[in-house]
C-alpha cells in the first residue's frame, strides 16, 4: 500500500512569492490534514478535511494561506505571499474515519520551505 506522498520535497522562496504544496493521501482515506512544523517544534494543525469539506481551518492564516481538496482525494495548500516566518516543514497526513483506528494518522515526508 502506498503511503502519503507530498511534493515538492523542498522549496526556497523570496518573501512575497507564492508557493503551492501538493498531497496525495493513502487511497480510500477520507480525512486529510495539513500541519506546519517549525524547526525544533512539534507539528501544528492548520486545517483538516473530511472528503472535500473543510472541517476545521481555525488555525489557517486565512489572509495568505488557502487549502482545497476538490474531489476528496488530493489536496493543495497554497501560500499567496510568503513571509520569513512561514519557514517550516509542511506535513500532510491522512486517516480513515470509518476505521476502528480512526485516530491513527499516517504522515507524508513533508515539504521543507525556506523563505529568504
Binding mask 47-86 for another protein (x = CB under 8 A): -x------xx------------------------------
Binding mask 8-47 for another protein (x = CB under 8 A): -----------------------x-x------xxxxxx--
Q: Which of 35, 43, 107 is nearest to 77 (CA)?
A: 35
Phi-psi region of 5 (alpha: psi -120 to 50; beta: other; left: phi over 0): beta
Nearer to another protein, 66 or 107 (CB): 107
Q: Nearest approach, Cβ of 8 to another protein (angstroms)?
A: 14
CA distance linking residue 10 with residue 76, whole number of Å: 15
R_g over Cα of the chain: 14
34 pairs with which residues across the strands?
Answer: 47, 92
Nearer to another protein, 14 or 40 (CB): 40
Q: Is residue 22 within a helix (H) or strand (E), and if so which, with residue range? A: strand 19-24
Start-end of H helices in the chain = none
Q: Nearest approach, Cβ of 58 to another protein (angstroms)?
A: 10
Q: By rule CB under 8 A, what count of residues binds another protein?
A: 26
Residues that bind another protein (CB under 8 A): 3-4, 31, 33, 40-45, 48, 55-56, 91, 93, 95, 97, 102-110
Amino acid at each position: 500500500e502506498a503511503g502519503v506522498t507530498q511534493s515538492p520535497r523542498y522549496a526556497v522562496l523570496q518573501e512575497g512569492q507564492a508557493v503551492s504544496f501538493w498531497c496525495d493521501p493513502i487511497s480510500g482515506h477520507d480525512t486529510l490534514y495539513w500541519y506546519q512544523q517549525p524547526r525544533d517544534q512539534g507539528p501544528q494543525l492548520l486545517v483538516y478535511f473530511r472528503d472535500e469539506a473543510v472541517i476545521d481551518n481555525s488555525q489557517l492564516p486565512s489572509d495568505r494561506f488557502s487549502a482545497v481538496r476538490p474531489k476528496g482525494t488530493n489536496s493543495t495548500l497554497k501560500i499567496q505571499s510568503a513571509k520569513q516566518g512561514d519557514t517550516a516543514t509542511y506535513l500532510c497526513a491522512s486517516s480513515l474515519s470509518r476505521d476502528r483506528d480512526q485516530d491513527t494518522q499516517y504522515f507524508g515526508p513533508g515539504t521543507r520551505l525556506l523563505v529568504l
